[in-house]
Amino acid sequence: MKKQLIILLVLTVSVINSQDMRRNAAFSLFSDNKANQRGDAVTIIVMESSQATNNAETSAGRTSDLSFGLSGGVDKSALPKVDVNMNSGNSFSGSGSTKATGVVRTKISATVDSVLANGNLLIKGSRRIVINGEEQLVFIKGIVRPSDIGADNSVLSYNISDAEITFEGSGIIDDSQKPGWLTKFFHWIF
């Protein structure tokens, strides 16, 4: 009887403390844990580099000449000599170039907002950093294929389709880069 009571007690305790297999079904014993369902976190490694160069050069010219001459005489009287010259010229030369470069490198954590019908993940994330009164906000949104997520549960930003990466800053330095109200007023008038 004592053995049966101990066995019953052990079974009761094991049933109470047992794990729910439905909750652990997403975790595999043989693969890494990667974001694959709504609410899962994924690390985005933002490594964006852009460079654009545009050069334009135009040259045009036009020249026109018109001449008219008359000379001669009747018997021994000389007629006045008439010369008419007309010149016209037009010349244009223009050139321009633009160059823009940008580099952004950071890490940001995002969460899976929803799982699309094809299995791709819609991710969203933001980070707000305040240092000495300077605020920096980083926002990221896009679509990630589960196969692009690495073993460390991170994805590179250039593997995000329809990516929206926004960097915004505000504070003393940002305010000092903006024109003052008097300058804005004169620009508005003129």
- Within 13 Å of residue 23, how many CA atoms lie on the same side as its CB? 3
Q: pLDDT at position 55, please?
A: 81
* pLDDT digit string, tens, across residues 63-117: 766 666 655 555 566 666 666 666 667 777 777 788 878 777 888 899 999 999 9
Q: Specify if 180 maps to a domain.
A: yes
Q: Please state the rounded mean pLDDT for residues 136-158.
A: 90
* Closest by CA position to 96, among listed 54, 147, 125, 68: 54
Number of structural domains found in the chain: 1
H-helix segments, 111-180: 172-176
Q: Specify if 179 maps to a domain.
A: yes
By residue range, what is the domain housing residue 139?
35-50+100-189
Q: Express as a percent the part of the chain with pLDDT over 90.
A: 15
Q: pLDDT at position 93, please?
A: 76
Conformation bin of residue 185: beta by default, left when phi > 0, alpha when psi is -120 to 50? alpha
Q: Specify if 20 maps to a domain.
A: no
Q: pLDDT at position 138, please?
A: 87
Task: Say yes or no to pLDDT of 135 above 60.
Answer: yes
Q: Specify if 3 maps to a domain.
A: no
Are 143 and 112 in contact by the 8 Å Cβ rule? The answer is no
Compute the distance between CA of residue 36 and CA of residue 71 in angstroms, rounded to an integer: 98
Largest Cα–Cα distance of the chain, in whole Å? Answer: 162
**Secondary structure element (H or E) that encloses residue 98, with its range:** strand 82-115
Regarding beta strands 161-170 and 134-144, do their DSSP bridges make them parallel or antiparallel, or are they unpaired? antiparallel
Q: Specify if 89 maps to a domain.
A: no
Q: Specify if 165 maps to a domain.
A: yes
Q: pLDDT at position 122, please?
A: 94
Task: Report how far Cα 163 is from the mean position of its chain's Cα atoms.
Answer: 8
Q: Specify if 43 maps to a domain.
A: yes
Q: Whole-prediction pTM value?
A: 0.53
* pLDDT digit string, tens, across residues 72-86: 555 566 666 666 666
Q: Specify if 90 maps to a domain.
A: no
Q: What rounded mean pLDDT belongs to the chain? A: 77
